[in-house]
C-alpha cells in the first residue's frame, strides 16, 4: 500500500510540476531542472508498482516449505533440504554496502532447483535458494528463528552474531545450557522509577543544546544571508554539521540507559542485547572494577560494575538497595575464576556486597504499569520540546525568505518540511505509546 501511495504521489507531483511550469512561464534552466526531476520520479514509478503487486508467500510446517515469490512457485519436503542457513549478505544501499540477515535453503544433491536468477545463491560452495532477508517480511526475528528451529532441527544454522547473542540471552532466560540470566534491576515499578531518575538530566541538557547550538546557528545564518546569500548558505551547511555533532554528544551522555536492563552470563562473558545493539564484556579480561557510591558522577547511591566503563548496576541509584544476593554471587563466581588479579579483587568486593544484601529472590512488581504510564507521559512531553526546535527552523526559514532569494526556500524545503513530517510521525508514536501504557495500567488495576 505504501508503495502504491508513493507511486501515485510521484505521478501527481510530476503533473503539478508541469502545470506550474506552464503557469509561471518558466525559463529554460527551470524547465531543464523540472524535466530532470520529473523524469527521475517517473522512472521510480514502475519499480514501485512492480514491488507492490508481486506475490510473496512463504509457508513452513512439519511437511516442508511452500514458496511463492513473484513467478517462482515451489513445494519442498524436508527430505529434499540439507540445510536452512541464516547468514549475512552485503546489499547495496545509498552508495555503500550494508549487511543484511538472509534466509537460505540448501537442497540435497540431485534435487532440481529451477530458481530465478535473483534468488540463486551459494552457501559454502553448495547451490542454494535465497528466499528473503529477515527485514523484508513483518516478523519478529527471534520468535521466527525459535519457531524455525523447532521445525528444522539440526538442519538450521544461524551464522548472524546478533541473533546468536539474542538466542544466548533467551537460553539464559529459560535456564538452558547452564547459562544464567541477571534480571533487570530494580524490577517492576522500582526499575521504571530508577530509569526515570537516571534520565533526569535529559531535559536541562536538551535545553542547553537548543540554546547553545540551534539558536546561534539559525541567527548567524540569517545575519550572514543579509550580507551575502552564498555566505549564509555556507554558514547554514556548517551550522547543520555543528548542530548534529552537538546532539550526538548529547546522546552519548546517556550510555547508562541500559544499565538496569537484564544481562546474561555465558561462560566468562556478560552479554546484553538491546534492540539491534549487542553489549559484550569479558569478565576474565583483567579490567573489572567495582565502584562505590559517589565514585561516578550521576549514579547516586548505586554500587557499579565496570570493565572499566560502567555496564551494570549493583545497587539502586535512588535508594542504595543492593541487588539480589544470588545475582551478586553469580557475578563473583565467574570473576573469582579469572587469572587476573583485578577481576578477582572485584569478585571479593562483590562478595562483601552480597553479605550486606538483604534481598533473596524476586521482589514484588506491583505498580509497574502506573510507573510506566508516568514514564510514557514524560516521554510524550518531548513532543513539545521538539515542536519548539521544528518551529524555530520554520521561523528561521520565513525570516530568510525576506532577506534572500533562494536560501529561505531551501531551508524550508530541505529542512523545514522533512522535520515537520518526522515530528508529526514522532508525535503519533509517542501518543500511541502513551495510550497503550494507559490501557495497560487501566486493565491491570481493574
More confident residue, 11 or 90: 11
Q: What are the backbone angles phi and psi of residue 293, rounded to the nearest 5°?
A: -55, 135
CB-CB neighbours of 40 under 10 Å: 11
Rounded CA separation 100/143 (Å): 18
Place 438 in a pLDDT band, splitting at 50, 70 and 90: confident
Sign of CA dihedral 226, 228, 234, 235: negative
pLDDT tens-digit series, residues 280-328: 778 888 888 898 888 877 788 888 888 888 888 888 888 888 888 888 8
Secondary structure of 87-106 in the HEC alphabet?
EEEEEEECCEEEEEEEEEEE
User: Would you state the cell numbers that stand for residue 406, as one nine-digit string?
Assistant: 533562494
C-alpha cell recorded at residue 2 = 505504501
CA distances from 417 to 8, 190, 409, 413 (A): 20, 41, 11, 5
- The CA distances from residue 266 to 187, 331, 425, in Å, are 22, 11, 39
Q: Which residue has the cell 512561464?
A: 25
Q: How confident is the model at residue 365 (pLDDT cuts 50, 70, 90)?
A: very low
Q: What is the mean pLDDT of residues 4-19?
A: 76
Q: How far apart are CA 303 and CA 353, in angstroms?
A: 9
Query: Which residue in the block uniquely carries the three cell numbers 550486606?
Result: 356
Q: Using one digit for the tens of pLDDT, what is the confidence trace for 372-424?
A: 677 677 778 888 989 999 999 999 888 888 877 778 888 888 888 888 999 99
What local confidence, expressed as pLDDT, does residue 147 receive?
83
For 155-196, how does the pLDDT look when each residue is reduced to its tens digit (9 = 90+)?
A: 888 877 666 666 666 665 555 555 677 777 777 667 667 777
Residues 6 or more apart whose CB falls under 8 angstroms from that of 368 comprise 188, 189, 191, 192
The residues pairing with 272 across neighbouring beta strands, listed in sequence order, are 279
Q: The C-alpha cell of 81 is what?
A: 533440504
Read off the pTM.
Answer: 0.49
Amino acid at each position: 500500500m505504501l508503495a502504491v501511495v508513493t507511486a501515485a504521489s510521484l505521478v501527481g507531483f510530476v503533473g503539478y510540476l508541469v502545470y506550474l511550469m506552464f503557469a509561471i512561464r518558466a525559463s529554460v534552466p527551470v524547465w531543464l531542472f523540472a524535466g530532470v526531476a520529473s523524469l527521475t520520479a517517473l522512472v521510480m514509478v514502475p519499480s514501485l508498482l512492480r514491488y507492490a503487486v508481486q506475490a510473496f508467500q512463504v509457508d513452513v510446517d512439519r511437511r516442508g516449505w511452500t514458496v511463492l515469490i513473484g513467478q517462482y512457485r515451489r513445494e519442498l519436503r524436508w527430505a529434499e533440504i540439507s540445510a536452512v542457513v541464516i547468514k549475512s549478505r552485503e546489499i547495496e544501499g545509498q552508495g555503500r554496502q550494508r549487511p543484511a540477515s538472509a534466509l537460505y535453503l540448501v537442497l540435497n544433491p540431485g534435487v532440481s532447483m529451477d530458481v530465478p536468477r535473483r534468488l540463486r545463491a551459494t552457501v559454502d560452495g553448495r547451490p542454494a535458494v535465497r528466499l528473503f532477508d529477515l527485514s523484508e517480511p513483518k516478523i519478529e526475528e527471534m520468535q521466527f528463528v525459535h519457531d524455525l528451529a523447532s521445525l528444522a532441527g539440526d538442519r538450521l544454522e544461524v551464522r548472524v552474531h546478533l541473533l546468536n547473542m539474542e538466542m544466548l540471552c533467551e537460553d539464559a532466560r529459560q535456564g538452558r545450557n547452564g547459562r544464567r540470566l541477571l534480571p533487570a534491576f530494580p524490577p517492576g515499578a522500582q526499575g521504571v522509577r530508577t530509569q526515570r531518575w537516571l534520565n533526569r538530566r535529559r531535559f536541562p541538557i536538551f535545553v542547553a543544546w537548543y540554546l547553545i547550538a540551534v539558536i546561534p546557528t539559525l541567527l548567524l545564518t540569517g545575519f550572514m544571508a543579509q550580507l551575502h546569500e552564498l555566505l549564509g548558505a555556507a554558514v547554514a551547511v556548517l551550522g547543520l554539521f555543528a548542530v548534529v555533532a552537538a546532539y550526538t554528544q548529547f546522546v552519548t551522555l546517556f550510555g547508562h540507559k541500559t544499565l538496569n536492563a537484564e544481562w546474561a552470563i555465558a561462560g566468562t562473558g556478560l552479554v546484553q542485547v538491546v534492540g539491534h545493539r549487542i553489549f559484550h564484556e569479558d569478565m576474565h579480561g583483567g579490567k573489572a572494577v567495582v565502584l562505590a557510591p559517589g565514585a561516578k558522577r550521576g549514579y547516586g547511591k548505586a554500587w557499579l560494575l565496570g570493565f572499566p566503563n560502567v555496564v551494570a548496576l549493583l545497587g539502586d541509584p535512588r535508594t542504595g538497595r543492593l541487588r539480589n544476593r544470588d545475582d551478586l554471587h553469580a557475578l563473583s563466581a565467574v570473576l573469582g575464576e579469572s587469572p587476573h588479579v583485578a577481576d578477582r579483587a572485584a569478585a571479593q568486593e562483590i562478595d562483601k556486597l552480597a553479605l550486606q544484601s538483604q534481598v533473596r529472590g524476586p521482589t514484588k512488581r506491583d505498580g509497574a504499569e502506573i510507573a510506566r504510564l508516568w514514564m510514557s507521559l514524560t516521554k510524550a512531553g518531548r513532543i513539545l520540546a521538539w515542536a519548539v526546535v521544528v518551529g524555530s527552523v520554520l521561523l528561521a526559514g520565513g525570516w530568510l525568505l525576506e532577506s534572500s532569494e533562494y536560501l529561505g526556500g531551501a531551508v524550508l524545503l530541505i529542512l523545514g518540511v522533512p522535520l515537520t513530517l518526522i515530528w508529526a510521525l514522532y508525535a503519533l508514536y509517542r501518543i500511541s505509546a502513551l495510550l497503550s501504557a494507559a490501557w495497560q495500567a487501566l486493565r491491570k488495576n481493574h
